[in-house]
Amino acid sequence: MTSHDRAAARALDAADPLARFRARFVLGDEPRVYLDGNSLGRLPKETIERLDSTLRKWDADLVGAWAEWIDLPLRVGDLLANAALGGAAGEVVMADSTTVNLYKLAAAALAAREGAIVVDPDEFPTDRYVLEGLARAHDRELRRLGSEPVEGPTAETVRAACAAGPTALVCLSHVSYRSGALCDLRAITAAAHDAHALVLWDVSHSAGVVPVELEEAGADLAVGCSYKYLSGGPGSVAFLYVRRGLQQELRSPVQGWFGQRDQFLMGPSYEPADGVTRYLAGTPPILDLTAAEVGIRLVAEAGIDAIRAKSLSLTTLAIELHDAWLAPLGFSLGTPREPERRGGHVALRHPDAWRIRCALIERASVVPDFRLPDSIRFGFPPLYTNHADVWEAFARLRRLVKKGEHLAFSEALARVT
């Protein structure tokens, strides 16, 4: 793209093979441009109907409805594995929160392998906190990668960290929540395996927007949430992946009845079920599973490769507009430039990022996210974001900063979600 006018963005939308998916979401003809779907994805229209069906089933079949519901964690997990994670049937299950799943799988890995935990200092906070607690409980070293903040972890930095001593587990985000840097899943997994470590990927920021290809990379473990690009709704049920060859070797530390062999015999002692089922814990949340399934089916229907192609087109436009319009205003790109090193969102850095974020929301009806210390994060979920949205948001951003409208806002950080 050479021209930066609105017509050029509209032309890209006119040629978009996924354009029809925008109408599958509830979004009014509003001035607001929502670019935080990588924090909370939009509401699919079908979710409303499907939740209504689930309520009617609850009413009509009562406890008998469990005959159908009980396999939902596995059935929806299979859908997700196939649609977005590059896993096989029986390798993914919907369960708990990302935090609890990370805890279960990291603890399982530590029980099976000696050595340190390797983690990126820029890893998403809940992941760092969980690993810090497990390191203390299991008396393991928590070894931090020496990553560059924008470029993120590489096979080289992982190899170097693993070389520092025996390593049990490498735990990283596939796409960095802050910078949007995309890790080389295959190369980093191979580097960790060379050091006899297991690898646990947090794919919260890639599931549904970047093909994850866990099996092809030989990845051992993964967790992620369903409420970003998968549009499962606020706090909806998370998922976990365990490579088939590892499923019988590891055990969840949380020995719940949904992970028990012959669960309803309610036998005297715990014996983990075969397969990925053993990583379930308590009773699965059916409303959440209903909503998550709708979003996952939309991704499956659109196809993850088409989604990735559109995502790259959207982030490329954003970077071009940044370079042309925003860099002269003091912004710098907080995301890798190379398409193959980017996930679905773009971070712009600015010394006044917090005030600009506030002004964008209140004066310009553009909703981005903010991440400490100085990043405004723009997410572009391809199923309902178009090029005109990117153009409009960045045009408003340019106008606002040129006029200095953000200077009227307080520098004090409010609570940010």
Supply the minimum distance, in Å, between the C-beta of residue 25 and its own copies. Answer: 9
Is 378 considered catalytic here? Answer: no
Sign, CA torsion 204/207/212/213: positive
Is 124 considered catalytic here? Answer: yes
Task: Pick the catalytic residue from 36, 120, 127, 202.
Answer: 202
Is 129 considered catalytic here? Answer: no
Order the strands of the 332-333 sheet from edge to edge: 332-333, 345-349, 375-379, 369-371
- CA–CA dist 174, 184 (Å, integer): 8
Task: Pick the catalytic residue from 251, 371, 377, 396.
Answer: 377
Pick the closest to residue 275 from 238, 253, 242, 252 (CA basis): 242
Specify whether the CB–CB gap between 165 and 129 falls below 8 A.
Answer: no
Specify whether the CB–CB gap between 223 and 103 falls below 8 A.
Answer: no
Output 58 or 160, the one with its CB closest to its own copies. 58
Supply the minimum distance, in Å, between the C-beta of residue 417 and its own copies. Answer: 4
What region does 287 belong to: left with phi over 0, alpha with psi -120 to 50, or beta? alpha
Output 86 or 295, the one with its CB closest to its own copies. 295
Instruction: Locate 378 and state its tokens.
Output: 């723009």
User: What sections of 164-238 are H helices per DSSP?
Assistant: 185-194, 214-217
Output 281 or 318, the one with its CB closest to its own copies. 281
Is 202 considered catalytic here? Answer: yes
Phi/psi of residue 369, nearest 5 degrees = -120, 165
Supply the minimum distance, in Å, between the C-beta of residue 184 and its own copies. Answer: 25
Supply the minimum distance, in Å, between the C-beta of residue 2 and its own copies. Answer: 34
Supply the minimum distance, in Å, between the C-beta of residue 370 and its own copies. Answer: 10
Supply the minimum distance, in Å, between the C-beta of residue 301 and its own copies. Answer: 21
Task: Pick the catalytic residue from 21, 103, 227, 279.
Answer: 227
- CA–CA dist 295, 315 (Å, integer): 22
Output 126 or 332, the one with its CB closest to its own copies. 126
Output 206 or 226, the one with its CB closest to its own copies. 226
- CA–CA dist 108, 126 (Å, integer): 18
Output 48 or 407, the one with its CB closest to its own copies. 48
Task: Pick the catalytic residue from 24, 140, 178, 228.
Answer: 228
Residue keyed to tokens 């929502």: 34
Q: At what angle do helices 185-194 and 155-163 cross, to 10 degrees?
A: 20
Which residues form the catalytic set?
124, 202, 227-228, 377
